Structure formats: structure tokens, C-alpha cells
């Protein structure tokens, strides 16, 4: 079975747009995905990227155009300017890490968190929202949130980020197949070509 590293943050609109396609590819080509939530700040700093608010207005406007286009292309409902954006995604990301530490499958919950932000107008920084999402996936919300707040989970979050910086991850989402980076959900079709080899 092929394996892939997936660097992302749950607040990323492009990770949301690619989530469904990514898992279609994983199922079709029997790929094991290693989820690696990261902090975007250090990754942007290392790669020379600017946070959204610091980008020129023309780039900010074009980003919205791209989100609309890709939402239609991927046939995924999306509010390109959600009420709760930007917010701090760290607790949501650490919930995903906590689930991984428990040996749980995380793709459904991760996708639900992304949908909550980008199509359901929910605040994924709100612990009550995360609690509800965990319960909806038959997960022990209290246990997961407690683990998400532990130092060991924060350490893994930081380790994922440091690993991403060391490898040259450019942003979220970044898919790595056999040490080759495919940056952005708009590279998923190229990733599929690579999976066919």
C-alpha cells in the first residue's frame, strides 16, 4: 500500500475543497494518508508567504475568485467569506492529533470541522462546536478535548510544524507522495497521475 503525508490546518479553505477528492484518490489507489495538522504561521515564515491580511488587495480579491471557481468545480458548497474566519484553529487541529494518538480514524471528523467553517457558519475555535462535532461522530468529546489540551499533543503539533518547515512545505494543504510535494488542492489531478505510476 502506498503512503502519503498530508500537511494541513483545519481552517484552510483549500484543504476543505480538496478533502473529498483526496479521499476518493486514497480509496481508488489504496493509499494510506498520514494526517499531520500544522501551524501555518511558521510555515509561511519559512517559505516567504504572507498571511492573508498582509497580501496585496489584488491577491486577496483573486483568492476569493479562486475559491468560488473551485467550489463550483469540486461541487462543494462554500461560503467564501464565512462569518468565523479567521479564527484560531489550534484546538480543532489538536483534536485531530488527539484522535490519531488514540488510534482513531480521523478523516470524517477532519472533514466535518472543515465543513463547519466553510459551509455551515460555525466557529471551529469554539469548544462547544467541537464537542458537538465529536459527539456527532460517536467520539468521546470530553476525553478527546482533554487529550487535545495536553502538553504531549501540543508537542506533536509543534513537531508536525517543524517537520513541515524542514521538508519545505509551502502551505495548506500540502500532499507528499514519496518525498515529492504537491502543494494545493489544485494539484490533486497531478497527484492522481503520480499515483498511477
Beta-carbon-side half-sphere exposure of residue 45 (alpha carbons within 13 Å): 8
User: What's the CA gap between 188 and 129, in Å, rounded?
Assistant: 30
User: What's the CA gap between 96 and 86, in Å, rounded?
Assistant: 19
User: What's the CA gap between 110 and 113, in Å, rounded?
Assistant: 5
The mean pLDDT value for 122-126 works out to 98
The mean pLDDT value for 174-187 works out to 97
The pLDDT of residue 133 is 99
Are the CB atoms for 43 and 171 separated by under 8 Å? yes
Catalytic positions, please? 12
The pLDDT of residue 23 is 95
The average confidence (pLDDT) of the chain is 97
For 2-195, the fitting CATH number among 3.40.50.300, 3.30.420.40, 1.10.3720.10, 3.40.30.10 is 3.40.30.10
Amino acid at each position: 500500500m502506498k503512503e502519503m503525508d498530508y500537511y494541513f490546518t483545519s481552517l484552510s479553505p483549500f484543504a476543505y475543497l480538496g478533502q473529498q477528492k483526496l479521499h476518493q484518490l486514497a480509496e481508488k489507489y489504496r493509499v494510506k494518508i498520514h494526517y499531520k495538522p500544522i501551524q501555518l504561521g511558521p510555515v509561511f515564515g519559512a517559505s516567504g508567504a504572507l498571511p492573508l491580511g498582509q497580501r496585496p488587495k489584488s491577491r486577496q480579491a483573486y483568492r476569493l475568485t479562486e475559491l468560488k471557481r473551485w467550489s463550483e468545480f469540486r461541487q462543494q458548497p462554500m461560503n467564501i467569506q464565512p462569518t468565523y474566519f479567521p479564527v484560531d484553529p489550534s484546538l480543532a487541529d489538536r483534536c485531530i492529533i488527539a484522535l490519531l494518538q488514540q488510534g482513531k480514524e480521523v478523516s470524517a471528523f477532519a472533514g466535518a470541522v472543515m465543513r463547519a467553517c466553510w459551509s455551515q457558519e460555525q466557529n471551529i475555535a469554539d469548544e462547544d462546536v467541537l464537542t458537538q462535532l465529536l459527539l456527532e461522530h460517536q467520539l468521546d468529546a470530553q476525553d478527546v478535548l482533554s487529550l487535545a489540551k495536553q502538553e504531549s499533543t501540543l508537542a506533536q503539533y509543534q513537531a508536525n510544524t517543524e517537520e513541515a518547515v524542514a521538508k519545505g512545505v509551502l502551505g495548506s494543504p500540502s500532499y507528499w507522495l514519496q518525498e515529492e510535494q504537491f502543494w494545493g488542492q489544485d494539484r490533486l489531478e497531478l497527484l492522481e497521475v503520480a499515483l498511477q505510476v
